[in-house]
Amino acid sequence: MVIKCVVSYDGTNYKGWQIQPGLKTVQQEIENALALIHGGGRIEIVASGRTDAQVHALGQVFHFETTKTMEMDKWKYKLNRLLPKDIRIREVSLEKDDFHARFSCVSKRYDYYISLDDENPFVRNYMCVEKRRLDTEAMKKAGRVFIGTHDFTSFTSSKIHEEKSRVRTISECRVDVFDDRIRIVFRGDGFLRYQVRMMAQTMIEAGLHHLDADDVKRMLEACDKHACRYKADACGLYLVEVNY
C-alpha cells in the first residue's frame, strides 16, 4: 500500500532533503525511522521535490510503499517518536496505488522571508536579513514579470540536464509587507533548482533599485544560464504546500 505523509522541518542543521553519503539530511532521518518501524531494511521515500541545505518546509510531501498494516494515527505517532524534534510528521494518509508524491503534484507554494530587523539575532537562521531600505512597489513590478508560462533557463542551475524542460508556469508572485519583515509568495506548477531563490534575490535587487522590471524581463527572455547572477540565502525559503 502507498502511504502519503506531510512533513514540516527546520532545515538549519541539514544538508538538504536528499540522501548524501556521510551527510545529515532530512530524507535520511525519515528513512532511518521507517527502517526501525519495519524491523530493518531500507524503506525508500519519494518526495514532491528536493530542498537545498538550510531550506525549511511547512508542508513537504513524501510517499512510501509498505506491507505493514497500521492505523494512520499510529504511523504518525511512531514516526514522530523516532524523528528528531526539528522534523515533524503533520499528516499521514492511505492513498491509491497510483499516487506519486512528485508526479501527481499539480502545484506548489514557496514563501521567501526577508527580515528588516538587522538587530534581531534570532531570525538569522529563518530569514534573509536586509538592513537596506527596500522599495516594495519596485519588487512587485519585478515579480509580475515572472507570472505566466516562461522558459526559466536564466533562473535555474546550470547543472540541469539539457533535455529537461525549463518551462514552468507561475500563477502567483505576491509581496506581503509587515512591520519588521517582507514575505514573497511564489505559486506555480513546479520550480527548477534554485529558481525560487534566484527570483527572490532578483526582486530584492529591484527593491534596492539595482535593476528594474525591464531588466528582469530582458533576463528572463535571454534564456541564458548566465543572465541572472543573483541567488537569495537559503535560510529564508520555505516550502509551504504541495497540491494534488
**pLDDT tens column, 45-56:** 999 999 999 999
Show the cell assigned to 139.
Answer: 519588487
User: What secondary structure, in 3-state letters, does 23-56 show?
Assistant: CCCHHHHHHHHHHHHCCCCCCCCEECCCCCCCCE
At 160 the pLDDT is: 67
Average pLDDT over residues 111-140: 96
> Which regions of the chain carry the CATH code 3.30.70.580?
2-95
Instruction: Judge whether residue 30 has pLDDT over 70.
Output: yes
Q: How far is residue 196's CA from residue 211's CA, in Å, rounded to a whole number?
A: 18
Where residue 2 falls among pLDDT bands split at 50, 70, 90? very high
Mean pLDDT of 207-224: 97
Helix, strand, coil percentages in the chain from 3-state DSSP, rounded to 5 = 25, 30, 45
Mean pLDDT estimate for the chain: 96
Fold (topology level) of 2-95: Alpha-Beta Plaits (3.30.70)
Which CATH number, 3.90.660.10, 3.40.50.620, 3.30.70.660, 3.40.640.10, labels domain 107-243?
3.30.70.660
DSSP letter string over 149-177?
EEE-GGGS-TTS-TTS--EEEEEEEEEEE
SS3 17: coil
| Bridging pattern class, strands 56-65 and 237-243 | parallel
- The single residue listed with the C-alpha cell 509568495 is 185
Higher pLDDT, 28 or 163: 28
Q: Output the pLDDT for position 204.
A: 98
Write down the pTM of the prediction.
0.95
The alpha carbon of residue 64 and the mean position of all alpha carbons in its chain are separated, in whole angstroms, by: 20
97 a catalytic residue: no
CA distance 75 to 188: 31
pLDDT at position 222:
97
Averaged pLDDT for residues 56-84 = 97
Cell of 164: 529537461
Q: Are 15 and 24 in contact (CB under 8 A)?
A: yes
Which pLDDT belongs to residue 40?
87
Grid cell, residue 159, equals 547543472
- Identify the bridge partners of residue 87 per DSSP, sorted by sequence position: 9
Domain with CATH 3.30.70.660 in the chain: 107-243
List the beta bridge partners of residue 170. 148, 188
Of the residues 10, 52, 151, 189, only one is catalytic, namely 52
